[in-house]
């Protein structure tokens, strides 16, 4: 069983006395169902699980008056073997987007407060079946992603104290012993090639066979394409799939990583495709990093909706869009040129998105200055440069020199730690896991 950070969040929620219902959001196959089932096994005497895709007739439980007494009675008739006892039973409503009345019912479970209720769904953001009354104020949210690099290291058997040592190296900004740094970079390349989808990671741990990894990654990608075909409106289906499958090309096959509609189809324009990008965003299939015209707090005030970079929500899906040989080049460290830089930029963006950061980038056509990634932390703007080697970060240096409100910037490299007088903190690429 893969250890996940989300377990601690669910435990904290379960220990809250006056709790709301918990809604676990996220893309498909990120481990939502599995982790909730395992949590129930370890913390409750009974689990009542309703998957609205598998048990279509279960919507009848929520067809009448949405009182807790009525719903519990209907569940007892449906599951006569279950003892549904307050405080000892977890009620798990999976794929809840398929039943709008079940979504509405979360308000009444929360008000009653006798039963612990967790709901989960992979396409809640697209709102293709609008709940008659969404339970605003009666639910807590947790967003699930694929494994981050630290969780990957846990799965690979790396001890907690070894990971804590990496944090100490980062905090003290001291050079990491070469043997440790080299080993961690090797793990990081394996992680990039595998991605964070739990089933894929587990297959890699079990087999160390990238052909099996590739097969699973492509199967997951087909599942995402199925979701587009099944859930997108008729006018969006083909457009959304074209946009989605162009993401890898836009990030890895060209120097300019800004999303361009002409790369989706010849002559493509925002007027035709922007709504498809919005659909993919709401469906948890892409993340967007937006261009800012100035690097000052608050970045939202300077961001542009019409200039952005689009990333897959997990590296597993990005890998599935490319040939198997790409994984070999990543692991063997034989990538070169813009592809290598693009891969590492995607990995850094993936790590930051999984930590909940909103991402931005900056490009000045006049000065030719460009910053790959920008985040906001504690009311400060933090610029980040990603280097496939350990070359100079001239744009970052100039930015720090001309913007005294920016305390420092990071340069992530395929190298080791260092701190310069101009405020640039250089760290190995894998250290993005500890920002």
Same domain assignment for residues 157 and 209: yes
Strand order in the sheet with 286-292: 303-312, 286-292, 359-364, 369-377, 380-386, 409-413, 424-428, 418-419
Strand order in the sheet with 89-94: 46-51, 89-94, 116-121, 21-26, 139-144
Quick one: pLDDT at residue 135?
A: 84
Task: Please work out, in degrees rounded to the nearest 5, the angle formed at the alpha carbon of residue 310 by the alpha carbons of 309 and 314.
Answer: 135
Same domain assignment for residues 88 and 235: no
Query: Of 117, 146, 142, which Cα lies nearest the Cα of 50?
Result: 117
Same domain assignment for residues 243 and 348: yes
Instruction: Judge whether 85 lies within some domain.
Output: yes
Instruction: Judge whether 302 lies within some domain.
Output: yes
Asked if 362 and 370 touch (Cβ cutoff 8 Å), the reply is yes
Instruction: Judge whether 1 lies within some domain.
Output: no
Same domain assignment for residues 122 and 176: no
Which residue, of 122, 144, 166, is where some domain finishes?
144
Could you list the residue range(s) of the whole structural domain that residue 98 is in?
6-144
Same domain assignment for residues 222 and 80: no
Q: How far apart are CA 387 and CA 378, in angstroms?
A: 25
Which residue, of 120, 144, 168, is where some domain finishes?
144
Same domain assignment for residues 139 and 159: no
Peptide bond between residue 298 and the one before it cis (omega within 30 degrees of 0): yes
Instruction: Judge whether 356 lies within some domain.
Output: yes
Quick one: pLDDT at residue 128?
A: 45
Domain count across the chain:
2
Q: How far apart are CA 394 and CA 380, in angstroms?
A: 21
- The model's pTM: 0.94
Which residue, of 104, 121, 144, is where some domain finishes?
144
Asked if 370 and 361 touch (Cβ cutoff 8 Å), the reply is yes
Same domain assignment for residues 89 and 175: no
Same domain assignment for residues 128 and 194: no
Quick one: pLDDT at residue 365?
A: 80
Q: How many residues does the chain have?
A: 435
Asked if 414 and 389 touch (Cβ cutoff 8 Å), the reply is yes
Instruction: Judge whether 320 lies within some domain.
Output: yes
Q: How far apart are CA 337 and CA 149, in angstroms?
A: 24
Instruction: Judge whether 278 lies within some domain.
Output: yes
Same domain assignment for residues 137 and 178: no
Residue 141 belongs to what H/E stretch? strand 139-144
Written as tens digits, the pLDDT of the chain (435 aa) is: 899 999 999 999 999 988 899 999 999 899 999 999 999 999 999 999 999 999 999 999 999 899 999 999 999 999 999 999 999 999 999 999 899 999 999 999 999 999 999 999 887 776 544 545 578 889 999 999 999 999 999 999 999 999 999 999 999 999 999 999 999 999 999 999 999 999 999 999 999 999 999 999 999 999 999 999 988 999 999 999 999 999 999 999 888 899 999 999 999 999 999 999 999 999 999 999 999 999 999 999 999 999 999 999 999 999 999 999 999 999 999 998 778 999 999 999 999 999 999 999 999 888 888 999 999 999 999 999 999 876 788 999 999 999 989 999 999 999 999 988 889 999 999 999 999
Quick one: pLDDT at residue 179?
A: 97
Same domain assignment for residues 136 and 159: no
Query: Of 354, 187, 356, 374, which Cα lies nearest the Cα of 298?
Result: 374
Same domain assignment for residues 91 and 166: no
Unique residue bearing structure tokens 């409106």: 233
Instruction: Judge whether 304 lies within some domain.
Output: yes
End-to-end CA distance of the chain: 26
Cα 403 → chain centroid? 31
Same domain assignment for residues 139 and 274: no
Asked if 264 and 249 touch (Cβ cutoff 8 Å), the reply is no
Q: How far apart are CA 244 and CA 232, in angstroms?
A: 13
Neighbouring residues of 202: CB distance < 8 A, sequence distance ≥ 6: 2, 155
Return phi, psi of residue 273, to 5°.
Answer: -110, -10
């Amino acid at each position: 069983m893969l250890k996940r950070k989300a377990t601690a969040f669910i435990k904290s929620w379960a220990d809250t006395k006056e709790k709301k219902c918990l809604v676990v959001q996220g893309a498909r196959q990120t481990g939502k169902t599995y982790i909730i089932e395992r949590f129930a096994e370890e913390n409750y005497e009974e689990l009542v699980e309703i998957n609205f895709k598998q048990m279509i007739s279960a919507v009848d439980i929520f067809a009448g008056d949405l009182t807790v007494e009525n719903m519990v009675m209907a569940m007892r008739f449906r599951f006569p073997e279950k003892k549904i006892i307050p405080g000892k039973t977890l009620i798990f409503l999976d794929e809840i987007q398929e039943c709008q009345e079940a979504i509405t019912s979360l308000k009444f479970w929360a008000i009653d407060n006798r039963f612990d209720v967790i709901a989960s769904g992979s396409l809640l953001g697209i709102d293709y079946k609008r709940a008659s009354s969404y339970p605003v104020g009666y639910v807590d949210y947790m967003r699930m992603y694929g494994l981050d690099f630290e969780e990957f290291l846990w799965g690979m058997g790396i001890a907690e104290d070894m990971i804590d040592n990496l944090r100490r190296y980062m905090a003290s900004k001291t050079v990491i012993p070469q043997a440790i740094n080299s080993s961690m970079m090797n793990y990081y390349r394996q992680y990039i090639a595998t991605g964070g989808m739990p089933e894929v990671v587990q297959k890699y741990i079990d087999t160390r066979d990238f052909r099996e990894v590739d097969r699973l990654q492509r199967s997951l990608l087909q599942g995402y394409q199925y979701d587009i075909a099944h859930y997108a409106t008729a006018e969006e289906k083909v457009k959304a799939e074209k946009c989605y499958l162009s993401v890898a090309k836009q990030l890895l096959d060209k120097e300019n990583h800004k999303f361009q509609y002409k790369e989706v189809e010849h002559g493509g324009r925002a007027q035709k495709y922007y709504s498809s990008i919005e659909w993919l965003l709401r469906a948890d299939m892409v993340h967007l990093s937006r261009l800012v015209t100035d690097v000052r707090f608050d970045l939202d005030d300077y961001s542009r909706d019409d200039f952005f970079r689009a990333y897959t929500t997990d590296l597993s899906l990005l890998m599935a869009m490319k040939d198997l040989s790409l994984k070999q080049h990543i692991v063997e460290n034989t990538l070169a040129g813009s592809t290598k830089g693009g891969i590492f930029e995607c990995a850094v963006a993936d790590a930051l998105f999984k930590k909940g950061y909103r991402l931005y980038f900056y490009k000045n056509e006049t000065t030719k200055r460009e910053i790959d990634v920008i985040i906001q932390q504690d009311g400060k703007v933090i610029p980040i440069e990603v280097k496939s080697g350990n070359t100079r970060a001239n744009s970052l240096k100039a930015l720090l020199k001309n913007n005294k409100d920016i305390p420092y910037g990071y340069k992530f490299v395929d190298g080791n730690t260092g701190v310069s007088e101009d405020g640039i903190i250089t760290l190995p690429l894998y250290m993005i896991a500890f920002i």
